[in-house]
Amino acid sequence: MIKADLSGAMAFIDERELSPGEGRKLLDGLYGGHIGREGAGWLKLPVDYGDRVSDDIKKAAGRITGDSAALVVIGIGGSYLGARAAIDFIKSPNYNLLSKKTPDIYFVGNNLSGDYLEQVIALIGGRDFSVNYISKSGSTIEPSIAFRVFKNLLTARYGADGAKKRIYVTTDPGKGKLRSLADREGYQSFPIPGDVGGRYSVLSAVGLLPAAAAGINIDDMMAGAREMMEKSEADALKYASLRQALYRRGKKIELLCCFEPCFHYAGEWWKQLFGESEGKNGKGIFPAYTDFTTDLHSLGQYIQEGERTLMETFVTIDTSRSKLRIPTDGDLDDGLNKLSGREILTVNNAASKAVKQAHLDGGVPVMELHVPDVSARSFGALVQFFEIACAVSALLMKVNPFDQPGVEAYKKNLYANLGLQ
């Protein structure tokens, strides 16, 4: 289960500044519907997840696997980051390059680049493909444009009726432009509950259908989330409380970091989760993600000796699938033959330990979250951990974790610039 080691940050505050009791009351209020009723439905997803929901998603994933060599997932923000994070974390960042019995999965509609779309079209080539269009409203411009492109391709290749059988929609169950379109065209659809916002929707059909299409055991994901709620809630509340105590001490930026490349998109999802939940009313901890050891060769200098407005959270994956060892090579004069025979994991762990100590010595509060492995169960637990910590942290800051009014500002300007208003 997820375990938090917060000892590396406690020296930067007075323990009396922590408020886990208040965090517990806020979380109980979320569970009871007294707080955040409009956006706290994600808390119940692991518990309400049942056989029918699971079977519907698995059957659709099975059809996609049976008739498609590629699945195009169309969405932006919370409508794609969680699914991509799950596939990278559980399967591989190189998932599409692996030999496998499941389809390649391409994520589009998360930018406005024609070059990117044309490259994905070229990668699909003449292979059979399906589309999963994920949007609560159906009116966000990036995924809307991408859907037009790929719907047109499907229709040209399979005809109007054939295209309809290859389009899977994940959207609001009762309203919105995409809901109306799905009903009118007869697309198979999956609901995004009305009280679940995009960034909190990983453990709904938003994340589960693409994950299942990639061959991930979604039952295990949900079981991991439930287990987290039973065993790690106290750690999530402590993490939330400590973040806020450090924020009040002037630590305005949180760096999340991991030493495994498979975590990269989980870090991107985490940025959206915390950035949109906390960054409002002139408040908020700025969330940044760094890939270590890679980013130590670009940002390491700043972290070590730059302005002391940083706090740092290390995500440590305790076990590795790889047993790859460092070979002996007498032709190389790099001084590393002393490491011959060791698993590369031991070097990665040594680097993590060294970096944590260096940053602590440099005046950066360090928190650490231990994740057992890169399984579906661990991923589900990690998602639930961060969502609980984020919602409580925002509430401790006295901001609404479930709205994002600032996001609409650029959309209004964009639509005006395009003459769509």
Catalytic residues: 276, 297, 411
CA–CA separation, 146 and 171 (whole Å): 16
What is the DSSP annotation of 238-302?
Answer: HHHHHHHHHHHTT--EEEEEES-GGGHHHHHHHHHHHHHHH--TT--PEEEEEETTGGGGTTHHH
CA–CA separation, 177 and 111 (whole Å): 20
CA–CA separation, 310 and 254 (whole Å): 6
Strands 3-5 and 366-371, by their bridges, are antiparallel
Helix (H) or strand (E) holding 332: none
CA–CA separation, 65 and 68 (whole Å): 6
CA–CA separation, 336 and 317 (whole Å): 25
Phi, psi of 389, rounded to the nearest 5 degrees: -60, -40
CA–CA separation, 324 and 15 (whole Å): 42
Judge residue 5's burial from the number of C-beta atoms within 10 Å of its C-beta, 0-12 exposed, 13-18 middle, 19 or more buried.
middle
Helix (H) or strand (E) holding 237: helix 233-248
* Contact of 7 with 239, CB cutoff 8 Å: no
Query: How many C-beta atoms surround the C-beta of residue 406 within 10 A?
Result: 11
Contacts of residue 177, Cβ cutoff 8 Å, sequence gap at least 6:
137, 138, 139
Q: In which residue are the tokens 């379109």 written?
A: 181
